[in-house]
Every structure is written in C-alpha cells, then in structure tokens.
C-alpha cells in the first residue's frame, strides 16, 4: 500500500497518523523532538499535563494487544484526555455491525480521536476517510501494512542511544514478511537517513522484492550481524502464516535466534531491540533479552512519550484547522 495523503492537510500538517510513508524528515523530527520534551512527565510527582483536557479518545482494538493499547491509554491520560476502551469481544461488532456503523455510533458520543488496531490492511485509512473533520485517527497497527507509532518509538529509542543516523548500520531480523513493524521501521529509518539497513531472514519469511525498500538482504544471521550498531528482533507471527513457512521454532532458533555468541559479532556497544511480545528461545535468548545490550523495556517506556507527542500534534493541528483554541 502506498502513501496516503489524507493524513496531511493542505499545509502539510499531520491530521491523522496512518503510515510513515509520505511523511518528511521534518514530520518525524517534530514528533521525536516533542516526545523528548514529554519524556520527563513520567518522572514528575503529578504525571499529567493539561494539553488534551476536555478531549475524548477512543481505543478501538479489533486485535489483541497489551503494550500498544495500555501505552496509548497512559499517553492519553497523561495529557488529561478522557479515554474510552471499547471491548470489541463484547461489542456489537461481533453481532455483525459494520465498521462504518461502529464508527458512526461512537462519533455520536462526541469523541475527538480514534486509536485503531485492525487485522485488515487499510482499515485505519478507511476510518480516516469517513470520520467527521474534527476527529483524528491514529493507526495502532493494520494487518501487514503499518504500525507507525511503533516505528517512531523504535527510532526514538535508537536516537537516544545513537543519534548519528547516517553512520548507523541497523539489522532487522526474523519474520519480515508478516511484520507491519518492519515495514514502518524501514520507512522511518530511510527518511531519517540511516546509513545501512539490513534485513536478515530465511527466504520464506521475506517479501518479494524487499530490496525495493532500500535494504540489504542477508540469509545468514552471523554474516548479517557483523559490525551492526542496532539489532531489531521480530517475533514469528504464526497467526498470520499460511502453510509451512518454517520447519519448526527450534530450527528457527538454531539458525536465526539471537544468542550472546552471535551478538558478539555486532559492534561492542550495539543495542538490542524487540517490539514485543518476546518469544524467548525462539527469536531471542533470555541472556540477551535481559542483558546489558537490551533496550527492550526502554522501548515500552519511550512508547508512552512518543504516543503523547503524536496525540498532541495531531489534535493540535485539528484545533488550528477548525479555529478553536488548541
């Protein structure tokens, strides 16, 4: 799926956050800089800002999630917004209500933002095209297409440790084929001018023509890890796989699992990342996941600041466009 211009207004301001594609270096840097300014909120005695006081944000998750949904909820509450978590498993959607009908009914409750996760690629864009003009839509993951807020928290974490993007060598390892995280992260790293982006996976877990994304492809983990600055591990997404793409999880770990010995091939100060949930002993060894190179829990913490930044930027631009006080 290509870039969607609907997320920008005529002045190039961010009204929705649906995909990394089509955004500029300035868009990403504004989000990262805003997130940096918000990161310290969690260390205050009162962990709140009045930025979105009076706004209502609806978490609309059609797929299971822990980290993403809870960090979106915390981000909204720290900006003083009211939050509604819609439980899809017990909602009218399971009774056959269409996505558009669900949208219209929640709109009638006078909300200001939808945070949406859906199994269908393009679902967030569909919603953005049908919401009322004052409502912002944030994509919390749609099918195999995109997970833009995860990409932003990943590059935010990288920038805090290694800000010189043009001189970085970054490896993304594992199930590239089914990973919306990988797609969005590759786009974000490219826009920020990362020096070299590598993908490491068996042929069955790589998209066709993945080289068109501007990455170098490696089928051998030790070769691909050599001298990298950042290692991003991905989980095997069994729920999205059709057919026998892998002989077994044990064999995958033998060939592509990140161990201390394999990590030693990267640079001595390399950082290890993972969007979660972690499958220990499948894509990563516990000694690495819990080791000194790991910034996995830091990614979770950073996710709150990044999602706060995106919420405040998009709703701020909606307020400017409608002429109301931001």
Instruction: Give 1-22 pLDDT, tens digit per residue.
Output: 445 679 999 999 999 999 999 9
Residue 58 half-sphere exposure, CB side, CA atoms within 13 Å? 24
CATH fold group of domain 148-295: Rossmann fold (3.40.50)
The better pLDDT of the pair 242, 123 is held by: 123
CATH fold group of domain 5-146+301-322: Rossmann fold (3.40.50)
How do residues 156-184 score in pLDDT, each as one tens digit? Answer: 999 999 999 999 999 999 999 989 999 99
Residues identified as active-site: 67-68, 95, 117, 147
How do residues 250-272 score in pLDDT, each as one tens digit? Answer: 888 999 999 999 999 999 999 99
Q: Where are the domains of the chain?
A: 5-146+301-322, 148-295
3-state secondary structure the chain: CCCCHHHECCCCCECCECCCCCCCHHHHHHHHHHHHHHHHHHHCCCCCCCCCCCCEEEEEECCCCCHHHHHHHHHHHHCCCEEEEEEHHHCHHHHCCCHHHHHHHHHCCCCCEEEEEECCCCHHHHHHHHCCCCCEEEEEEECCCECHHHHHHHHHHHHHHCCCHHHCEEEEECCCCCCHHHHHHHHHHHHCCCCEEEEECCHHHCCCCHHHHCCEEECCHHHHHCCCCEEEECCCCHHHCCCCCCCCHHHHHHHHCECHHHHCCCCCCCEEECCCCCCECCCECHHHHCCCCECHHHHHHHHHHHHHHHHHHHHHHHHHHHCCCC
Band (65; pLDDT cuts 50, 70, 90): confident
Distance CA 220, CA 108 (A): 53
Per-residue confidence (pLDDT) for residue 99, from 0 to 100: 79
Instruction: Supply angle C-alpha 141, 197, 200, rounded to 5.
Output: 80
The overall average pLDDT reported for the chain is 90
């Amino acid at each position: 799926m290509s870039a969607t211009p609907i997320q920008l207004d005529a002045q190039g301001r961010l009204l929705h956050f649906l995909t990394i594609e089509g955004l500029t270096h300035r868009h990403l840097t504004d989000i990262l800089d805003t997130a940096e300014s918000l990161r310290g909120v969690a260390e205050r005695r009162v962990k709140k800002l009045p930025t979105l006081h009076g706004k209502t944000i609806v978490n609309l998750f059609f797929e299971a999630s822990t980290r993403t949904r809870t960090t979106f909820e915390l981000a909204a509450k720290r900006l003083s917004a009211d939050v509604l978590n819609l439980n899809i498993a017990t909602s009218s959607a399971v009774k056959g209500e269409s996505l558009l009908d669900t949208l219209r009914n929640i709109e009638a409750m006078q909300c200001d933002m939808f945070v949406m996760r859906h199994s269908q690629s393009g679902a967030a864009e569909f919603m953005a095209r049908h919401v009322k003009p004052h409502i912002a839509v944030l994509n919390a993951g749609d099918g195999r297409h995109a997970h833009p807020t995860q990409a932003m928290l990943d590059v935010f974490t990288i920038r805090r440790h290694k800000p010189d993007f043009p001189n970085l060598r970054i490896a993304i390892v594992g199930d590239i084929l089914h990973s919306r995280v990988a797609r969005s992260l590759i786009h974000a790293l490219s826009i920020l001018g990362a020096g070299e982006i590598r993908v490491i996976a068996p042929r069955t877990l790589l998209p066709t023509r993945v080289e068109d994304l501007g990455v170098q492809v490696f089928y051998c983990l030790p070769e691909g890890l050599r001298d990298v600055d950042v290692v991003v591990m991905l989980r095997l997404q069994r729920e999205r796989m059709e057919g026998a793409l892998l002989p077994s999880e044990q064999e995958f770990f033998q060939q592509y699992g990140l161990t201390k010995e394999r990590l030693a091939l990267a640079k001595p100060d390399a950082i290890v990342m993972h969007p979660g949930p972690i499958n220990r002993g499948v894509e990563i060894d516990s000694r690495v996941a819990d080791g000194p190179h790991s910034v996995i829990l830091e990614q979770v913490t950073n996710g709150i600041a990044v999602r706060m930044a995106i919420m405040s930027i998009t709703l701020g631009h909606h307020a400017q466009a409608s002429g109301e006080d931001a």
